[in-house]
Amino acid sequence: MGHVCDEALKYGVRVIGVIPRFMKGFEHPDLTECIWTERMSERKDVMREGTCLAIALPGGIGTLDEVAETYCLAKLGRYPGRVVIFNMNGFYDPFKQQLDLYVERGMMDPGSRALVSFPETVEELVELL
C-alpha cells in the first residue's frame, strides 16, 4: 500500500489511512489523515463507511479478508456498493475459480456471483469506474 500511497500523494490525491492502534508505527508518514481504530473489524467498517465501491488490488491475506467480508456483506444486502477485484496478471484467478465452483456446485446463485467483478487490465478497471 505504500507504493499506492506514494503515487496518489505525488498527484495531489488526499490519502486517508485507517489503522488499528496496535499497528502504530506502520502508518505512511505523509498521510493526509489517519483514522485510528481499536480492532481490525472496526477498521474494515470505517473503510466501507460512505463508499459506493470497494476495489481490491493484489495483496496479502488481509486484503483477501477485507474483500471477502465486503463481498459477503454485499450479498447479504448490508453493503450497498459494488465490489471490484483487480485481477492483474491473474493474481486472483484462484479466488475467481472458487466463486465459479460455488455456482457450479449450487452453493451460490449466479446473481450473487455477479456482485463481484474481476477486471484484468487498467483499461477494464477504468471502464468499471
**Tens of pLDDT, residues 78-120:** 999 999 999 999 999 999 999 999 999 999 999 999 999 999 9
Residues 6+ apart with CB under 8 A from 70: 44, 48, 54, 79, 81, 83
Domains held by the chain: number: 2
User: Which domain does 21 fall in, by range?
Assistant: 1-49
User: Tell me, what CATH number does 98's domain have?
Assistant: 3.40.50.450
Cell numbers for 12: 495531489
Cα gap 128→118, rounded to integer Å: 10
Query: Can you give the pTM of this predicted structure?
Result: 0.88
Shared domain for 75 and 129, answered yes or no, is yes
Question: pLDDT, tens digit, for every residue of 8-55?
Answer: 999 999 999 999 999 999 899 999 999 999 999 999 999 999 999 999
Backbone dihedral angles phi then psi of residue 56, each to the nearest 5 degrees: -105, 125
Shared domain for 57 and 107, answered yes or no, is yes
